[in-house]
Copies of this chain bind each other. A is one copy, B any other.
Amino acid sequence: MTLRGNSKKRAVGERPQRASSRTERVARAADPADVDDDEDRRFLAAYDLTRYPRPSVAVDVVALTVEGGRLHAALYERTEPPQRERFALPGGFLRMDESLHDAAVRLLRDKVGLERVFLEQLQTFGDVHRDPRGRVIAVAYVALVDSARFRGRMMPNAQVARLDVPWPSETGGPVSALDAAGSPLSLAFDHADILGVAVKRLRNRLDDAPVGFQLLPHEFTLRQLQEVHEAVRGESVNKDSFRRRMLASGLLVATGSREQAVIHRPAELYRFVRTSAV
């Protein structure tokens, strides 16, 4: 490894050539990719990341659904301090052997009983005093769920709480959660802010991304899809242009069957076509 000084003067970005003679092989060993392997191995053997102060890292999941034309989120009443009796997002601390995404999947499975749902990173919240236990940064994820999948899965201290979004369009701001009677729930930590960011992001994504189908059963009518969009946006949308836009998007495919047991003309059932971009 005496070539270190020389190798550093090598033209930046120069690519190693295939080589067979002795000198060329030495030159090739000076390529960053090879140097790393040897040098790093020794460096890392003596290196201890945990010498330095580290925050705790939590993963919180905003599991959103639409029920009765309104946005809802899964919340748990905390049974242990701190902030006992307040309502919190399902969450927990990141384990050392799982990725952030895997942690969100695990928490959704263990705390809400849901698997195979749309899941996407939202944002990381890192204010110094956001958690009274100490320095905890929270990586928030958003899950979009068909409301039927919640049935019977909620724990006794949990509920799917209706969200009250006090701002129009994509303004942003905290969001409050209401119980079945319409009274506001006391939210733990900065979870009202996290809910607000989740709703804001979802409203934004509705315009361009193939989002919204995840909040419905596998087969659905255009009317149902429109009601989901209206619930997310918090305002009514034009029926005609909504139909045209959705049918023209190529994201929907007609199943040929129609909805059952309705008092009026039954609508065509559609299915979501997952595009290559997703």
Contact = CB atoms under 8 A, between A and B. Distances in A.
Contacts of A166: none
B183 A128 contact: no
B124 A100 contact: yes
B44 A132 contact: yes
A204 B205 CA distance: 11
Interface residues of A, number: 66
The SS class assigned to the A binding surface is: loop
Interface stretch (A33-41, A63-71, A246-254): A33-41
Interface in A22-43: 32-33, 35-36, 39-40, 43
Contacts of A207: 208
Interface of A: 7-8, 11-15, 32-33, 35-36, 39-40, 43-44, 47, 49-50, 52-57, 77, 81-86, 93-101, 121, 123-124, 126-128, 132-137, 139, 159, 171, 178-179, 181, 183-186, 204, 207-208, 277
